Structure 1
Amino acid sequence: MKSSNKQILVVGDRILIRPDTGEKKSPAGLYLPPSVIEKQEVRGGLVVEVGPGIPLGSPDNSFDEPWKEKRSDVKYIPTQAEIGDYALYLGKASIEIKIEEKDYLIVSQSAILILIRDDIARVLA
């Protein structure tokens, strides 16, 4: 994610989410303020950036001889989330941050309950 002249890199299996904001309507027809929505156990938001995934260990024996200069590229198990997905996640497992006066959440892949994609054909292909 680019932010003015900075690039924001999400690491590991973490996902950067722009949370839903604003007022929601209760089943009784009452409008709930954002402070009530923030206390909900399950929250939702738009995925704006994803990390590379969970790093895999090196299959070679480079750990036996750490002085060797031989180094391979790190390989990852990719995250299931993609930019543009709508995610439902556990609110207590999220970390709130501000980037250029905008609110975002950092959520681990394990805290995401479901992902909603608009293009189902892309997922099945």
Structure 2
Amino acid sequence: MKSRNKQIIVVGDRILLRPDTGGKKSAGGLYLPPSVTEKQEVRGGIVVEVGPGIPLGNPEDDPEPWSQQETAPRYIPLQAEVGDYALYLNKVAVPISVEGIDYVIVPQNAILVLIRDELELNQ
């Protein structure tokens, strides 16, 4: 993800989310400030950037490890896509701020559910 002056590169099986802020109303009509929603165990946010995935080892056992054969790394892709809405476990989220915008970084296994606007059906 590129911002004005910086580029954020997400590595491994991590996902960069822009969390929902407070300002929600409770069922009784009370306004919930951000300090209340930050303490919840499960929070939601929009997927901004996705890492390449879980790295796979090289299945070939090279008998000559000093040889110059370079292979590109391979990854198991992640399920999340940019633009998805994700519910995640707040206790494993790492908050960061880039140019005044708050984000959280979560591993894929902290994502509970993904909500995607459009679903492509293969028929």
**Alignment TM-score > 0.5, same fold:** yes
Instruction: Choose 1-10 or 34-43, whichever is displaced more.
Output: 1-10
> Which 4+ residue blocks in structure 1 deviate beyond 6 angstroms?
none
Normalised by the length of structure 1, the TM-score is: 0.92
Identical positions, percent = 67
Question: What is the aligned length?
Answer: 122
The residue type equivalent to 2:28 in the other structure is A
Cα shift at 1:92:
0.6
Q: Provide, for residues 79-120 of structure 1, a one-character-per-residue CA deviation record: whole Å limited to 9, x for no partner.
A: 000000000000111000001110000010000000000002
Alignment-derived partner of residue 13 in structure 1: 13
Relative to its length, the structure with more helix (as a share) is 1
Cα shift at 1:21:
0.7
- Measure the CA separation in 1 of the matches of 2:3 and 2:94: 19
**Structure 2 residues without counterparts, runs of 5 or longer:** none
RMSD over aligned CA atoms reads 1.1
**Structure 1 residues without counterparts, runs of 5 or longer:** none
Normalised by the length of structure 2, the TM-score is: 0.94
Q: Provide, for residues 41-93 of structure 1, a one-character-per-residue CA deviation record: whole Å limited to 9, x for no partner.
A: 0000000000000000001113x543221121110000000000000000111
The residue type equivalent to 1:17 in the other structure is L
Alignment-derived partner of residue 22 in structure 1: 22
Cα shift at 1:5:
3.6
